[in-house]
Structure formats: C-alpha cells, structure tokens
C-alpha cells in the first residue's frame, strides 16, 4: 500500500487548478467575441457549444487527469431536439458531458455561475442556473429549459439533483420527464462512469488519472401528455441506466482480469 502524501497531492491539485484557470482565461475572450458576433442571429447561442467543448478538451490536454471516451453517437440525429438525462458522480461531469458534440444546455447549481471566468462563460453560453432546494428557482429553471426545447435546443438534466456519494445512481427527480411528456421530446439517457474517482464529493484534490466513459443510449419516447404515467417512465429510464452502469462495470472488471492474466 502506497503511503499517503497529502502535501504533494495538495501541490499537484493546486498546480492543476492553476492550469485549468489559464485555459479558461485563454478561451474566455474568444467566447465573449463569439457571443457578441452570433447573438443577433442565434438567440439560444447554440453555436457557442463547439467553443465550450473545445474548452473542456483543452483542460484535459494541459491537465491529462482523465480520459473521456464517448460511445453511442449513432443513437443521435444531428437535427433532433433531445432531453438528455445523465447520472451525476462529480463536479467533473460537466467537463465530461461537454465532450458530447450534439449542442445542448445543461442545468447546474447557481454557485458555479459565480466562479470568475468559468462561471461567467456559463452565463454567456446560456446554461441554466439552479438554486438547489429553492422551488422558485426550480420553476424558473424548468421554464428556461421549456423555452429552449420549444425553440429546438436540447437540454441536459442531472435528475438526481445532486452528486452521488458512492457513484451509484440515486433517486430521480421527475421534472425532466414531465417536460418530455409535455413537449413530446425524446429522452436520451447518458450513463457516466469514472468521474467520481477524479473529484469525489466533498474533496478538492484531483486524482492523477482516471478513465471516464459516457454511454449515450437510444432515445426513449415519452408517454403522451396526460395519457400514461410519467412516474413509471422516469423509473423505467432510471432502471435501464442502473442496468447499463452495472454491465459497464462488470465488463471493465472482466477486461482487467483478462489483461492481468495475459501479463
């Protein structure tokens, strides 16, 4: 067992956060310029998504703390509007989901929007702030999401509402699924695994390197409005995501055992 080195871990984490800050600074000003250029023609700022995605990839280029692999792009149509629902393991889920090329807005806690540069970039890109536990803020966030969806812009939800303590999928809030039924927008489950190993909840230390996978599952048609159980639909999607996460981990363990035996 390796000895604990909290001081060196702290230094390494601080250096990584410093690099992340510099990357954010370098991307921020082109983002401002792009925002001013497209705003008259792109109300929802969909065309800013590629630039924000470049930021996420640049962060991992200078701080190769995690490798993100995305599977399931064949399940998406470029011209389709979706409600993405992803499990939530870590604050680094934001960097992970920004590797999805399909433009979308995500809902995130409002505290992130006050972080200098990064939070301001979230505001400029039109992402949706939410004060956790505040019903007025929740209704406002859903209203903004509804507007985006009606205008053809996809939205990503973390329906657990907060990060998982143990990496397992927790209970889902129903808001995203109600919107799907109301607007007849397909729900696309996104199963994230590995981000909890990078920044565990309650920690600010970054791990050295983790493997992260995003699995984009097939779109699920919602029940018709006022005809069918939204609750049952929500639970069905959650159950399928739990199954997919378990299978992913079992296949990963099997590959690790096979690799160790072949050495």
157 within 8 A of 142, measured Cβ to Cβ: no
Q: Where does 89-229 have alpha helices with state H?
A: 93-97, 118-125, 135-150, 175-183
Q: How much is the pLDDT for 97?
A: 93
How many CA atoms lie less than 13 Å away from 13 in the CB half-sphere? 13
Q: What is the dihedral of CA 253, 256, 258, 263, to 10 degrees?
A: -160
Q: Which helix (H) or strand (E) holds 59?
A: helix 49-62
Alpha-carbon span 234 to 216, nearest angstrom: 17
Pairwise CA distance, residues 242 & 248, whole Å = 10
> Domains of the chain (ranges plus CATH)?
6-262 (3.40.1130)
Residue 213 confidence (pLDDT): 92
In what helix (H) or strand (E) does residue 252 lie, and over which residues does it extend?
A: helix 230-262
Residue with tokens 């433009």: 103
**Given this model, what pLDDT does residue 105 score?**
95
Mean pLDDT by 10 residues, the chain (263 residues): 58 77 87 90 89 89 84 94 94 90 90 86 90 86 95 94 82 94 96 81 64 94 78 95 91 52 46
pLDDT of residue 256: 47
Tell me the CB-side half-sphere exposure of residue 71, using CA atoms within 13 A.
9
Give pLDDT, residue 144: 95
Output the pLDDT for position 112: 84
Q: What is the pLDDT of residue 214?
A: 94
Q: Count of residues for the chain? A: 263
Q: Is 35 helix (H, G, I), strand (E, B) or coil?
A: helix
In angstroms, the CA 38 to CA 249 distance is 42
């Amino acid at each position: 067992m390796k000895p604990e080195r909290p001081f060196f871990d702290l230094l390494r984490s601080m250096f990584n956060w410093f690099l992340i800050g510099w990357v954010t600074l370098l991307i921020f000003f082109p983002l401002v310029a792009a925002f001013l250029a497209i705003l008259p023609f792109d109300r929802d700022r969909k065309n800013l998504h590629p630039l924000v995605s470049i930021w996420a990839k640049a962060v991992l280029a200078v701080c190769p703390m995690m490798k993100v692999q995305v599977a399931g792009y064949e399940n998406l149509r470029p011209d389709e509007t979706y409600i993405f629902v992803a499990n939530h393991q870590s604050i680094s889920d934001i960097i992970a989901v920004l590797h999805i090329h399909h433009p979308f807005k995500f809902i995130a806690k409002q505290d992130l929007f006050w972080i200098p540069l990064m939070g301001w970039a979230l505001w400029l890109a039109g992402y949706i702030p939410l004060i956790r536990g505040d019903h007025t803020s929740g209704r406002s966030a859903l209203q903004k999401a509804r507007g985006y969806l009606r205008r053809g812009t996809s939205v990503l939800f973390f329906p657990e509402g907060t990060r998982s303590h143990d990496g397992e999928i927790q209970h889902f809030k129903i808001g995203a699924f109600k919107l799907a039924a109301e607007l007849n927008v397909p729900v696309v489950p996104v199963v994230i695994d590995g981000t909890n190993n990078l920044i565990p909840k309650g920690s600010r230390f970054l791990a050295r390197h983790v493997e992260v996978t995003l699995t984009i599952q097939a779109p699920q048609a919602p029940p018709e409005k006022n005809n069918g159980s939204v609750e049952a639909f929500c639970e069905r999607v959650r159950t399928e995501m739990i199954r997919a996460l378990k299978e992913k981990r079992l296949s990963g363990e099997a590959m690790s055992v096979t690799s160790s035996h072949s050495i």
